[in-house]
Amino acid sequence: MNTNFLKLLPTLLFLTGCAGNGDTTNDPNLPPYQNESLPLEQRIEDALSRMTLDEKVAMLHAQSKFSSAGVPRLGIPELWCTDGPHGIRPEVLWDEWNQAGWTNDSCTAFPALTCLAATWNPEMAALFGKSIGEEARYREKDVLLGPGVNIYRTPLNGRNFEYMGEDPYLASRMVVPYVRQVQKNGVAACVKHFALNNQETRRYSVNVEVDDRALYEIYLPAFKAAVEQGGAWAVMGAYNKYKGQHCCHNQYLLNDILKRDWGFDGVVISDWGGTHDTKQAVENGLDLEFGSWTDGLSQGVGNAYDNYYLARPYLERLKRGEADRQTLDDKVRRVLRLNFRTAMNTHKPFGSMNSPEHLAAARRIAGEGMVLLKNDGGVLPLDSAATGRLLVVGENAVRMMTVGGGSSSLKVRHEYTPLEGILAAVGSTCEVLFERGYVSDATDTFDGVKTGQDLSETRSAERLIADAVKAARTADAVIFVGGLNKSPGQDSESADRASYGLPYGQDRVIEALAAANPRLAVVLVSGNAVAMPWIDRVPAVLEAWFSGSEAGHALADVLFGRVNPSGKLPFTFPVRLEDNAAHALGEFPGGDTVRYNEGIFVGYRWHDTKAIRPLFAFGHGLSYTTFEIANVKADRTSMTANGTLRVTADVTNTGDRAGAEVVQLYIGDAESTLPRPVKELKGFEKVMLDPGQTRTVEFTVTSEALSYYDDTRHAWTAEPGRFTAYVGAASDDIRGQVDFTLE
């Protein structure tokens, strides 16, 4: 028999609630810190009083790649973290990123967070959080390293696919239900990367310079909402610097804003290798240090974890009297609080893994997040019964997208590719042909996870195009599935995108197909905006995102009309890269320092203010039906600082099939002392309507929606004067407006 298992059995029985009758709330023999009927803070203080100095320090740093130590003497278990925001990472070796070789750690891959944000539906965020939280719980994980809410500043950020778009209000609305539902499973959501982590180039060292207005109005609100409204139990620091200090130990961000101003009572976790100095880590807000090898970034000596900045170096400073015990105890209290909420919570549910419900959730979220960008002539949806021959072109139709891309890489039981989904949807109703069209730099392995795909190709680029065109000429309809992938230089951690255009010569393929067949639909698989020089020659374009395990089925649902698309863009697609503010003003990716010269004018705020036409606007997304938004009204012409204003609009489904529209409220300030965007998102509601049905949507406007951050006063300000409420279907599709004044 395995003697190690016998040693762990008492702890396992305690953690699973199987010891005795499983009820630890009223046992008089339990020490107070194990008695769950007592107040949490009382339990924390009791546990703290029993710990030695060595035990306290041992809790503050990693003991393996993804775990930190508990206190075995007291029966306090270790904490286990897992990537990532889209699915539960496969088990890795104790000290390695590579696989541990388990055969039962395949997960459900949920859509990337850009897809979730594109649903513009907080109910989908709650479903996402509930489902991924259940998978984390089933795998006995205590901390889920996600979600990510860094703002989409530029289309070249390789990690944009892990975030929730360019608008702080949208990201705030979507992150809160995700966090709440994850944590209902007794799993901490670790919101990341705090803060200003908007590029991968020189991510370990670049110093971000940004004015306070942009910091508070654009880059902090989603984190603030996750903490104050979502009740997040953990926050991960970013790699980059701000005000010359690394964000994983940053006085201003962690101590002043997060812990003091927002009242955060959880744990600040370093990004892996984001810690650089013991004194700063101790004093500037870091609570729990993780990394790789000795310094968190490179291979080091044996016994590496004891050499972490919050390990032996910290212990020695404490023993020499160079660090105070009050700061130490504050860190330990936070880690204990996290432990009691997760690992020592005997009342959390059991969770589930790869359940039919989770696969259905992934499919539903993916289908609702896909964005129909263009659909001239009603090319979509396709009728398989009326399509004798359907041609599918493009490597992304057959390539797995769950493997690769960095820390969000996953191992799934099966990923349904677009071609698989299309074949399953049409059955025998039509003939489906496939042509490769182009070849990427595809690899089949990431951190030991193998796709099992052989994507080798012997034909030349010219031959691939010629073969695709030949097939297109005799097809009744053509679907091109391209976009980006998870290779370095595209949508991937550790490197920003190499260019704004589509890689691997895809533009040539699309242009050739457009010339060969007028019934062409381009499907883009990506987490980023891309250039579309062929847009005027292609009748239909669908943004399908990285959609996870059920990608192919979800795509087929939309292509063949089982799901009426209702996604809206969570970020702007510029025509040219130079139309994006970060590039127009010349500070991306910067050098040792990157300056956010655009300030608050990010995304649509920049396009509106400078009257730059986007390729596709923030909030844009079409449907297979049509909607009218009319009768935009306000219940009064003025409001006070403590009052409210009610804005209503009628939305009607004027088409012939059921569908959903996202009614969007923007506020503009015409008389501000400081420069402000033309308008800013301050409300939205997704409305499902049958043909001919009308509903009235109501928004409540408070002074908070009218405020800006005055960096000269370091305070939020709502200035008296004239404002405009704009209501529409996208930032560039306003259907009605009403003026009012703030008294």
- Residue 299, pLDDT > 90, answer no
Read off the pLDDT of each residue in 666-678 and give the average, rounded to a whole number.
94
Residue matched to tokens 């390695």: 96
Read off the pLDDT of each residue in 223-251 and give the average, rounded to a whole number.
98
Residues found in the chain: 743
Specify the long-range contacts of residues 180-184, CB closer than 8 Å, at least 24 apart. 180/126, 180/129, 180/230, 180/231, 181/125, 181/126, 181/127, 181/128, 181/129, 181/130, 181/133, 182/129, 182/130, 182/132, 182/133, 182/136, 182/144, 183/133, 183/231, 183/232, 183/233, 183/341, 184/130, 184/133
Q: What is the pLDDT of residue 28?
A: 75
**Cα–Cα distance measured from residue 68 to residue 288, given in angstroms and rounded to the nearest whole number:** 8
- Residue 218, pLDDT > 60, answer yes
Catalytic positions: 271
Cis peptide before 221 (omega within 30 of 0): no
Contact 700, 645 (CB under 8 A): yes
Q: What is the pLDDT of residue 23?
A: 54
How many Å separate Cα 440 from the centre of its chain? 26
Half-sphere exposure of 670 (CA within 13 A, CB side): 11
**Cα–Cα distance measured from residue 113 to residue 489, given in angstroms and rounded to the nearest whole number:** 19
Q: For residue range 518-542, what is the model confidence (pLDDT) as tens digits?
A: 999 999 999 999 999 999 999 999 9
Region at 394 (left for phi over 0; alpha for psi -120 to 50; beta for the rest): left
- Residue 10, pLDDT > 60, answer no
**Cα–Cα distance measured from residue 610 to residue 672, given in angstroms and rounded to the nearest whole number:** 17
**Cα–Cα distance measured from residue 290 to residue 672, given in angstroms and rounded to the nearest whole number:** 45
- What is the residue-averaged pLDDT of the chain? 94
Contact 601, 677 (CB under 8 A): yes
Q: What is the pLDDT of residue 14?
A: 40
**Cα–Cα distance measured from residue 10 to residue 14, given in angstroms and rounded to the nearest whole number:** 6
**Cα–Cα distance measured from residue 342 to residue 202, given in angstroms and rounded to the nearest whole number:** 35
Residue matched to tokens 């004093």: 283
Q: For residue range 506-516, what is the model confidence (pLDDT) as tens digits?
A: 999 999 999 99
Starting at the earlier edge strand, list the strands of the sheet with 477-483. 371-375, 540-543, 520-525, 477-483, 389-393, 431-435
Q: What is the pLDDT of residue 302?
A: 61
pTM, to two decimals: 0.95
Q: Which of 636, 575, 576, 580 lies closest to 603, judged by CA?
A: 580
The two structure tokens encoding residue 729 = 């279907």
Percentage of residues in the chain having pLDDT higher than 70: 95
Q: What angle do CA 185, 186, 188 make, to 5 degrees?
A: 105
Question: Per-domain residue ranges for the chain?
Answer: 3-341, 359-570, 625-742
Q: For residue range 97-127, what is the model confidence (pLDDT) as tens digits?
A: 888 999 999 999 999 999 999 999 999 999 9
Under CATH, what is the fold of the domain 625-742?
A: Immunoglobulin-like (2.60.40)
The two structure tokens encoding residue 426 = 């049409």
Starting at the earlier edge strand, list the strands of the sheet with 188-194. 67-68, 79-82, 143-144, 188-194, 234-237, 267-269
Domain 359-570 architecture: 3-Layer(aba) Sandwich (3.40)
**Cα–Cα distance measured from residue 638 to residue 636, given in angstroms and rounded to the nearest whole number:** 6
**122-138 helix and 168-183 helix, angle to the nearest 10 degrees:** 40
Q: What is the 3-state secondary structure (H, E, C) of 495-534?
A: CCCCCCCCCCCHHHHHHHHHHHCCCEEEEEECCCCCCCCC
Q: What is the 3-state secondary structure (H, E, C) of 120-179?
A: CCHHHHHHHHHHHHHHHHHCCCCEECCCECCCCCCCCCCCHHHCCCCCHHHHHHHHHHHH
Q: What is the pLDDT of residue 24?
A: 55
One DSSP character per residue, 355-411 reads -HHHHHHHHHHHHHH-EEEEEGGG--S--GGG-SEEEEE-GGGT---SS-SSTT---
Contact 540, 375 (CB under 8 A): yes
Under CATH, what is the fold of the domain 3-341?
A: TIM Barrel (3.20.20)
Q: What is the pLDDT of residue 25?
A: 57
Q: What are phi and psi of 435, to 5 degrees?
A: -130, 140
pLDDT band, residue 300 (cuts 50/70/90): low
- Residue 725, pLDDT > 70, answer yes
Q: What is the 3-state secondary structure (H, E, C) of 400-422?
A: CCCCCCCCCCCCECCCCCHHHHH
